[in-house]
Amino acid sequence: MALTSEATTVWTGDLKSGSGTVTLDSSKTAEFPVTWQARSAGTPDTTNPEELLGAAHAACFSMALANGLSAGGHTPDNIQTTAAVTFEAGVGVVGSHLLVSAKVPGLTEDEFAVYAEDAKANCPISKALAGIPITIEAELA
């Protein structure tokens, strides 16, 4: 069964001085202000498309890793993933870096690395980002 998730952005004004609001329609859980300045200069208190993409990548990766570990008989106590998505003006999104720390009883670092690489390669958001480099640093807590 396919599930479609929706988000809506309403933008006012031109690119550089305008602003918008992103609403997570499907979950009705959040509304975020978005501006070009947040994207090009890292202005605080507003988000940008790359931060939202990073949130999606971090969540998807964590879910894929939890699934892979559990299927292998290693239920994780916790997984923390940060996805750092890099945007370059005039070029676009140029990479996503996953920083992962997990507590998984009974697993060695080498075994964990295999699961982490598999999740990186196979989570649906990683697959959607196939046109950019995806790097990873993964360690057991």
Q: What's the whole-model pTM score? A: 0.94
pLDDT band of 99, cuts 50, 70, 90: very high
Instruction: Give per-residue pLDDT as tens, 78-97.
Output: 999 999 999 998 999 999 99
Domain 49-140 grouped into CATH 3.30.300.20? yes
Strand 134-140: give its sheet, edge to edge.
78-88, 92-103, 134-140
Instruction: Give per-residue pLDDT as tens, 24-51.
Output: 999 999 999 999 999 988 888 899 999 9
**Whole-angstrom distance, CA of residue 27 vs CA of residue 29:** 5
pLDDT at 43: 85
Domain ranges of the chain: 7-40, 49-140
**Phi and psi, residue 108, nearest 5°:** -85, 165
- Which contacts of 27-33 are long-range, i.e. CB under 8 A and separated by 24 or more positions? none
Reply yes or no on whether the pLDDT at 20 is more than 90.
yes
**Whole-angstrom distance, CA of residue 139 vs CA of residue 48:** 28
